[in-house]
Structure 1
Amino acid sequence: MARLNDITLYDEFHPAEGQRQFQQRANYISGLYLQCLHGYKPPKTTRISITLVPDQQLPYPSMAGSVACIYQQVHTPTYDALPDPTKLRYLLDRLHEAITHLCQAFPWDAAVFAQAYQQVQELHLELHEVS
């Protein structure tokens, strides 16, 4: 059985910092979160795709084969105004919020994801800037 091997944050909200810098932050946070799942695999899921958008009306979570897909709202002016380390925390919070919606839509163990969210915060209090 394939394991959960990727959580990806995609950008459709256009932060001012530029795509490369955003993607570095997004990859760092999603990698930490995935690592803190300690091998947990949601049923019939090998990837989680989260698209960050400025819209308030978001489509319902869906499955495309073994890929869970969801849109998550992000407020661009809020993100852009944050200091760099705080942007990492903001992305972590949006990622976990999207995962929480997926847990409500699908038969996933929400406690495992809550524990991963907590562990990222405890182990990486600084949520330092990614170079």
Structure 2
Amino acid sequence: MWPLTDITVYYDGNKIKGTTFVGEFKKAVNFISDYYHNSLAGYKPPKTGRICIQIKEKRFLQEPTYFGAICTLSSTMNEGKYLQLSKKEQYRYLLELIHTAVIEAAEKLGWDKSIFESAYHIVLGSDFVFEKRQKEKKAKNRKSTGVAILAKTEDISTLKVQITAGGATSEVVLLEKKNWFWWDDLYRIAAKCKWIDDDSFGFDSKSTNEFVYYSFREDKVKRNINLADPASIIK
């Protein structure tokens, strides 16, 4: 079964379009919609592969509409008010816009509203600091633990690993790259991080021969990773 791949907001208003604010708006709304979508814990509304929220000057749809598995919702925004807000206030405004549209659709289509409510409170409760910790894993010798952590800002995705061994804990950056929001390769890589041996923790794919991991004995990151956009890797 295909997952819910994304919740995307499309802006078709007038006060932001064509101004220096349009690029900043796109990054902000993509950041919040990605965070909200990721906080759904893999939930997929029935027969829905994508959710698209169209923002126009006037609401043009009163009911959710489908084209295949794409569900389109309609919303509006007060652009003048939005542009006067601080950055975190803008994040909250966008979160409210997305959540309100989705909850209204959930009521009409019979989706599980509790999952969307939970996602809303996760994002709001984090004060918009996007950090996703994977499940902690023990090394085969049972003496060390490791956990992959994916952190995001509007611009940057960072994959870190946290290693606890010999009573000490260290945190190391494996990769930093441009944030591609819900299409980000680091989601896939973070989810598959594991102990490669008793010394090394990270990502090692036998099918693609790609790897990026941290050796705590050598205190060194090793990698040959080949992402879809190699130029986006920062370090």
State whether TM-score is above 0.5: yes
> Counterpart of 1:65?
68
Higher relative contact order, chain-length normalized (CA < 8 Å, sep 6+): 1
Moved more, 41-50 or 68-77: 68-77
Give aligned pairs, total.
130
Q: Tell me if the contact between 2:91 and 2:128 (Cα under 8 Å) persists in the aligned partners.
A: no
57 and 47 in structure 1: CA distance in 2 versus 1, 3 angstrom threshold: closer
> Counterpart of 2:92?
89
Of residues 80, 83, 88, the one that matches 2:83 is 80
Q: Tell me if the contact between 1:88 and 1:127 (Cα under 8 Å) persists in the aligned partners.
A: no
Structure 1 residue 99 displacement after superposition: 0.3
Cα deviation code 1:53-104 (max 9, x no counterpart): 2215643211111011011111111111111221111000000000011102
46 and 126 in structure 1: CA distance in 2 versus 1, 3 angstrom threshold: closer
C-alpha distance in 2 between matches for 1:127 and 1:56? 31
SS at match of 1:20: helix
Q: Provide the identity percentage.
A: 30
Instruction: Could you tell me which runs of 5 or more consecutive residues in structure 2 were left unpaired when the two chains were aligned.
Output: 131-152, 156-235
- The yes-or-no answer on 1:40 pairing with 2:40 is no
> Counterpart of 1:29?
32
127 and 82 in structure 1: CA distance in 2 versus 1, 3 angstrom threshold: farther
Structure 1 residue 127 displacement after superposition: 5.7
Instruction: Could you tell me which runs of 5 or more consecutive residues in structure 1 were left unpaired when the two chains were aligned.
Output: none
Of residues 149, 154, 160, the one that matches 1:130 is 154
Letter in 2 for 1:28: F
Moved more, 27-36 or 52-61: 52-61
Larger Rg: 2
Q: Tell me if the contact between 2:103 and 2:113 (Cα under 8 Å) persists in the aligned partners.
A: yes
Q: Tell me if the contact between 1:53 and 1:72 (Cα under 8 Å) persists in the aligned partners.
A: yes
TM-score, normalization by structure 1 = 0.89
C-alpha distance in 1 between matches for 2:75 and 2:107? 14
C-alpha distance in 1 between matches for 2:60 and 2:68? 24
Q: Tell me if the contact between 2:6 and 2:50 (Cα under 8 Å) persists in the aligned partners.
A: yes
> Counterpart of 2:114?
111
Q: Higher helix fraction: Structure 1 or Structure 2?
A: 1
C-alpha distance in 2 between matches for 1:54 and 1:79? 14
> Counterpart of 2:2?
2
**Structure 1 consecutive aligned stretches of length 4 or more whose deviation exceeds 6 Å:** none
TM-score, normalization by structure 2 = 0.51
